[in-house]
Structure 1
Amino acid sequence: MKRIGFVGTGVMGASMALNLLRAGYEVLIYTRTKAKARKLLQEGAVWQEDIKQLAETVDVVITMVGYPSDVEELYLGEYGILATLKPGKLAIDMTTSSPMLAKKIANEAKEADIDVLDAPVSGGDVGAKNGSLTIMVGGDEAAFNKAKPLFERLGQNVILQGAAGSGQHTKMVNQIAIASNMIGVTEAIVYAEAAGLNPERVLASISFGAAQSWSLSNLAPRVFKNDFTPGFFIKHFIKDMRIALDEANKMAIDLPGLKLAEKMYQTLADQGLSEKGTQALINYYSRQI
């Protein structure tokens, strides 16, 4: 699998595609806004005018887009990936999307003799740049083994979780854990500042104790600098939390911590902060940008 089609070159997708380019793969790219792909084109990626043109000639398609509706259009549209990718080829959706949609795509792909994996990631912009993402995979083991060399160029923690949809369910577990953790990290910062402590010194102490977490180590320093540049957009986090809440409702489980986090982030979105990073939660506590 030397020829890769990559769809979606946003905050994370661009770095992921670049890592594949630098690993020696031929990368064909498509995104709705060509300007976002300028750096990749300068690095040697080949622009494609539409999905059909891209999917017809590659060994594998990787998608990293925004919403389940985008995924559905890409895969199940009249001229989408499943309609144009050749039998025996592989498609990997790395978008955080709906588990039910992942299963639907996998079922239709099977009819077309195409292997499909749902493989959402965690690690933010830093993990995407460094090739150190956690990749949570759902699908057939044979397809997973076929894709593993690609995954190893993108991440360091790559685990097959089970059948189609299992990768997306695992990502929901990840987002549920992050949602409440971000509230804890943010309130810890608010408390430290109100107590007149030096936030950096506090972070140096608690980052190595029982309070340590990825969000504390990677996002708290950005908060101290009033840096709300998105490693992960608030609007996409809200989308993820709503998927998780919908799935929880289907399983008849109540997740009050997740409900609270979704409400808090929606408040920020209503204030015009939907395209800030998730660390902008500090603004819920009346800090000004």
Structure 2
Amino acid sequence: MIGYVLSRLARAAITLLVTVTLVFIFIRFSGDPAAALAPPDAPQEVIEQYRRALGLDQPLWAQYTGYLGRILQGDFGYSIHSGRPALQVFLDRLPATLYLGGTALLIALVLGLSLGAIAALNRGKPIDRAVMGFSVFAFAMPNFLFGLGMILIGSLAFQVYLGGQGAGVLAPALTLGLASMGSYARFTRSSLLETINKPFMLAAEARGIPYRRRLIRHALPNASIPLVTLVGLSVGSLIAGSVVTEQVFAWPGVGQLLVRSVATRDIATVQFLVLAIAATMITANLIVDLLYLVLDPRIRVR
């Protein structure tokens, strides 16, 4: 078991190092960062000053080692617009994104898992087909289109503007959680049906274990194992997955900050946001791998 944990930790560290390296390469080879930071009409002398200040006049290997050293020291650069550290700019926007993403995840989990279980326990019945039809619709509907529809209906029919943080979190959370809700419903149905038809469930029925106990004590825990991966991906995408929704609803979160930073060439902020998103995904996948030790005894045995 220790070897399993160490291998997952090593894989996460290597993935993070590769991500940092790719961010460094893309920033350097997507254009001259000094020219991007300088004013549009700046003379070449000013651009050279920017280049020296950023250390871009050094060899590439020296820039890379210095880049890694600054990251290890917690120095992620400064925003060119506010002059504040990129980390602080990110932390100022993070609570709004976590509030929106957490609410959306809660809605998706409660509704998706409930609908999926109902569909599995009523396989082939009209309610099963209705749930699956709604799941396909929820998964296929673009969230920006659904969000714009909610804003238009609220404004035209009820004279209520659903955009901005002052309008509440329910509308953007429903928009953000719609696709996840459909995925949870479909995965829950398929996983629960597969578990119910396995031999150990038939053996439990043959021993006379009541249906409700078989369902709660045996079927649900085993059916939840594949869903852990899906939930982990949803948790990992809390920061990156809300970019479109935050733009549609003018929600002042990290997603809106990322779009504005890209549009205004705020390189330090963009660079840190990409690293933060990657680190979130890597951490979520690491936690999922460790949870498998608790949920699946076969991994502990191996």
Sort the TM-score into its range (normalised by shorter chain). under 0.3
Q: Which one scores higher on RCO, CA 8 angstroms, separation ≥ 6? A: 2
TM-score (norm 1): 0.23
| TM-score (norm. length: structure 2) | 0.23
Greater Rg by CA? 2
The structure carrying a bigger helix percent of its residues is 2
